[in-house]
Amino acid sequence: MKNLNADLLRQSSYINGQWHANPGQEFEITNPANGAVICEVADAGAEDAKLAVDAAAAALPAWRAKTAKQRSSVLRRWYELIMQNQEDLAVLLTTEQGKPLVEARGEIAYGANYVEWFAEEAKRIYGDTIPGASSNSRIIVIKQGVGIVSAITPWNFPNAMLARKAAPALAAGCTFIVKAAAETPLSALALAELAEQAGIPAGVFNVVVGKSSSDIGKVLTQDPRIAKFSFTGSTQVGRLLLKQCASTVKKTSMELGGNAPFIVFDDADLDAAVQGAIASKFRNAGQTCVCTNRIYAQSGIYTEFANKLNDALQTLSIGNGQDDGVSIGPMINEEAVKSVQALIDDAVQQGAQVRESKQAMPDGACYMRPMVVTGVDSAMKLAQEEIFGPVAPMIEFTSEEQVIELANDTEVGLASYVYTRDIGRVWRVAEALEYGMVGINEGIISNEMAPFGGVKQSGNGREGSKYGLEDYLEIKYLCMGGIDK
Q: How many degrees, rounded to 5, is the angle at CA 188 between CA 461 and CA 212?
A: 85
CA dist., res. 460 & res. 435, Å (int): 12
Complex with ligand SIN: residue 293 or 378, whichever CB lies closer: 293
Give min distance, CB of 110 to ligand SIN, in A: 7
Residue 465 in contact with ligand SIN, rule: CB under 6 A = no
Is 366 marked active-site? no
Among 184, 288, 378, 420, binds ligand SIN (CB under 6 A): 288
> Residues 415 to 444: which contact ligand SIN by CB under 6 A?
none
Three-state DSSP state, 468: helix
> Residues 77 to 136: which contact ligand SIN by CB under 6 A?
none
Complex with ligand SIN: residue 198 or 289, whichever CB lies closer: 289
Give min distance, CB of 254 to ligand SIN, in A: 11
> With contact defined as beta carbons under 8 Å apart, do 113 and 159 qualify?
no
CA dist., res. 410 & res. 117, Å (int): 33
Among 157, 205, 302, 417, binds ligand SIN (CB under 6 A): 157
Residue 180 in contact with ligand SIN, rule: CB under 6 A = no
Q: Sheet harboring 128-130: ordered strands across?
A: 128-130, 138-145, 473-480
Q: Binding segment for ligand SIN among 136-144, 205-213, 283-291, 383-391 (CB under 6 A)? A: 283-291
Among 289, 368, 383, 387, binds ligand SIN (CB under 6 A): 289
Complex with ligand SIN: residue 117 or 452, whichever CB lies closer: 452
Q: Binding segment for ligand SIN among 4-12, 42-50, 241-249, 287-295 (CB under 6 A)? A: 287-295
Smallest Cα–Cα separation from 97: which of 40, 19, 154, 178?
154
Burial zone of 36 (CB within 10 Å; 0-12 exposed, 13-18 middle, 19+ buried): exposed
Burial zone of 437 (CB within 10 Å; 0-12 exposed, 13-18 middle, 19+ buried): buried
CA dist., res. 253 & res. 460, Å (int): 5
> Residues 211 to 270: which contact ligand SIN by CB under 6 A?
232, 255
Residue 153 in contact with ligand SIN, rule: CB under 6 A = no
Complex with ligand SIN: residue 302 or 452, whichever CB lies closer: 452
Cα–Cα distances in Å, from 166 out to 68, 115, 197? 16, 8, 16
Q: How many degrees, rounded to 5, is the angle at CA 169 between CA 168 and CA 173?
A: 110
Is 479 marked active-site? no
The contact set with ligand SIN (CB under 6 A) reads 156-157, 232, 255, 288-290, 446, 452
